[in-house]
């Protein structure tokens, strides 16, 4: 009798696990969600400013549902569009990424790249993300320069280790960004310095939200820090949350809006819109974009 009970429990566990995997791979990873946050960073009496934050599309050529959903976000009528990297997941993904982004190119925009814009994915054990130290392996070269040419040709600011100012919502916004710290391409020191008093608000971008980079941006006085990379944990445990951020960021900040510790800066981490192609599952963490409404402090 005891053996039969154990077998039933084992079978039940396998069934529940299989159902969760099926839900995460067939349903939740396509349950695209728009999050909305109010961010109190503007001067008193200033009009709100809307920033649409996209990240981690991990686009492959056949993901038409994702492409249509991202394109539909033009209906949010943002003042500024910000993309924080990992747009590509296939050597032929640029046309699909542009189908998604094309309607948004009519708005002011800025971007940084992530590691999966430069090199394609390779198969890896999903459980390796839980290891504190693991070797990072990259695949084939991706046509990131083709994507960069279209984005900059539309007037978007390339902020990979660049600092600039741009007009959006009728106001001057000071912006800075770094190339992906996850693969050591960041060089914030080359653009560091206190923010100007001339801008209405200041925004800094990075793909991977490494604390060492966020600390420097916050110390320079940037009001809002935007990042992606974490996928919000991608597979989360209800009542526990993310099991990993795949970087130095605390798990409690794996997604959403947070005050960056020891500063006046706000940090928004996007849970992103895609998955690694070899682990196409999300659980308790649907793919998302965010509309950030900047309001007076």
158-204 confidence digits (pLDDT tens): 999 999 999 999 999 999 999 999 999 999 999 999 999 999 999 99
Q: What are phi and psi of 9, to 5 degrees?
A: -65, -40
Closest CA to 80 of 109, 121, 56, 111: 109
Burial class (CB in 10 A: 0-12, 13-18, 19+), 218: buried
Helix, strand, coil % over all residues of the chain, rounded to 5: 30, 25, 40
Closest CA to 204 of 181, 188, 190: 188
The residue ranges of every structural domain in the chain are 31-296
Q: Give the chain's mean pLDDT.
A: 89
Find where tokens 């320069």 sit: 145
Q: For residues 283 and 28, give the distance between their C-alpha atoms in angstroms, rounded to a whole number.
A: 7
pTM of the model: 0.89
The alpha carbon of residue 74 and the mean position of all alpha carbons in its chain are separated, in whole angstroms, by 18
Mean pLDDT value of segment 93-97: 98
The residue count of the chain comes to 297
**Domain 31-296 - what CATH class?**
alpha beta
DSSP state of 103: G
Q: In this predicted structure, what is the pLDDT of residue 136? A: 67
Q: In this predicted structure, what is the pLDDT of residue 9? A: 39
Closest CA to 129 of 24, 270, 2, 281: 281
Q: In this predicted structure, what is the pLDDT of residue 6? A: 38
> Do residues 42 and 297 make contact, with C-beta atoms less than 8 angstroms apart?
yes
21-74 confidence digits (pLDDT tens): 444 455 798 999 999 999 999 999 999 999 999 999 999 999 999 999 999 999
- C-alpha dihedral sign at 259, 261, 265, 268: negative
Query: What band does 19 get if pLDDT is binned at 50, 70 and 90?
Result: very low
Q: For residues 289 and 147, give the distance between their C-alpha atoms in angstroms, rounded to a whole number.
A: 20
Q: In this predicted structure, what is the pLDDT of residue 101? A: 98
Q: In this predicted structure, what is the pLDDT of residue 29? A: 85
């Amino acid at each position: 009798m005891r053996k039969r009970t154990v077998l039933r429990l084992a079978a039940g566990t396998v069934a529940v696990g299989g159902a969760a995997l099926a839900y995460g791979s067939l349903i939740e990873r396509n349950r695209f969600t728009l999050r909305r946050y109010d961010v109190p960073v503007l001067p008193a009496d200033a009009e709100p400013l809307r920033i649409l934050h996209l990240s981690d599309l991990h686009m492959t050529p056949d993901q038409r549902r994702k492409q249509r959903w991202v394109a539909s976000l033009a209906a949010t009528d943002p003042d500024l569009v910000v993309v924080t990297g990992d747009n590509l997941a296939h050597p032929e993904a640029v046309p699909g990424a542009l189908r998604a982004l094309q309607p948004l190119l009519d708005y002011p925009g800025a971007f940084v790249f992530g590691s999966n814009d430069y090199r394609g994915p390779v198969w890896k054990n999903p459980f390796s993300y839980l290891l504190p130290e693991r070797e990072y392996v990259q695949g084939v070269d991706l046509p990131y320069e083709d994507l960069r040419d279209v984005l900059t040709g539309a007037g978007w600011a390339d902020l990979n280790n660049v600092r600039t100012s741009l007009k959006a919502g009728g106001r001057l916004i000071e912006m800075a960004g770094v190339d992906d710290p996850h693969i050591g391409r960041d060089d914030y020191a080359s653009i560091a310095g206190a923010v100007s008093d001339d801008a209405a608000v200041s925004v800094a971008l990075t793909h991977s939200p490494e604390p060492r980079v966020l600390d420097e941006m916050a110390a320079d006085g940037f009001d809002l820090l935007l990042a992606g990379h974490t996928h919000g944990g991608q597979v989360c445990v209800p009542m526990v949350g993310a099991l990993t951020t795949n970087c130095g960021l605390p798990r409690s900040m794996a997604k959403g809006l947070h005050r960056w510790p020891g500063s006046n800066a706000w940090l928004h981490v996007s849970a992103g819109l895609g998955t690694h192609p070899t682990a196409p599952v999300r659980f308790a963490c649907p793919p998302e974009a965010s509309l950030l409404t900047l309001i007076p402090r």
